[in-house]
Amino acid sequence: KPWILGLTGGIGSGKTAAANHFARLGIHVVDADQAARWVVEPGRPALQQIVEHFGPGVLHEGALNRAALRERIFLDPNERIWLERLLHPLIRAEVAAHLADAESPYAILVSPLLVESGQYRQVDRVLVVDVPEALQVERTVGRDLTSEEQVRAILKVQASREERLRHADDVLLNDHDLAWLQAEVERLHRFYLTLRGGRQ
Ligand code: ATP
């Protein structure tokens, strides 16, 4: 079983930018959001079960129509619970399988909801990418070309900065430029290598 670093942070904090740089250093990165999409791909058993449960209205050209499914579970909390009970164990298994493929000295699980979902209990160490809220909103608006209001609405449903930091072993304060972020990633990477003591 590989040694796993959980990487999390709020929306637009710089998780992807940090993870991409760890990957450039040769570290195996698994994205929890991607795993959540893979388990409902055509041909996977979960999609079949979702269609049997909700009907063909949640399909579009053979693939899952996320908007349609979202609407169904938004209107009915019981349906949301049904879906979560189906998907959560599958996503957990998918994530574990991809982490097990790691050949690097350690592996990274990137998850925006590491704290909210309790996934932090399944990793060996937690790195939080932290950013002052004003900068977080500015960067997210710049990236997604969305409104500040919309970003603030998402911030409200995510864990607070304080709550996330309570679970952090390490903090990467991403309040400088990208070159600085990368230098911080390299510093942390060297530190994680010493923690691992060269073990695979
Ligand atoms: P989400 O949870 O929404 O996917 P994220 O945490 O993965 O967000 P990124 O996409 O990595 O965040 O970063 C958000 C935006 O801010 C991106 O456009 C990214 O290029 C930019 N960014 C990240 N870090 C810096 C930095 N240090 N300096 C300037 N821009 C940055």
- Tokens 């409902």 belong to residue: 40
Q: How far is the CA of 114 from the centre of ligand 1 (A)?
A: 17
Compute the distance between CA of residue 9 and CA of residue 159 in angstroms, rounded to an integer: 9
Q: What is the pTM of this model?
A: 0.90
Pocket test for ligand 1, best of 109, 136, 143, 154 (most atoms within 8 A of CB): 143
CA of 192 to the centre of ligand 1 (A): 23
Averaged pLDDT score across all residues of the chain: 94
Nearest CA, atom 14, ligand 1:
12
Average pLDDT of span 84-108: 94
Residue type, 160: S
pLDDT tens-digit series, residues 124-179: 999 999 999 999 999 999 999 899 999 999 998 889 999 999 999 999 999 999 99
Q: Which CB contacts under 8 angstroms, 24+ apart, belong to 146-151? A: 151/11, 151/12
Q: Is 68 in the pocket of ligand 1 (CB under 6 A)?
A: no
Nearest to 39 by CA among 17, 66, 57, 12: 66
Cβ contacts of 67-76, under 8 Å, gap ≥ 24: none
Of 110, 115, 102, 117, residue with least CA distance to 18 = 110
- Beta strands in the chain, from DSSP E residues, in sequence order: 4-8, 28-31, 59-60, 63-64, 107-110, 125-130, 170-173
d(CA 162, CA 156): 13
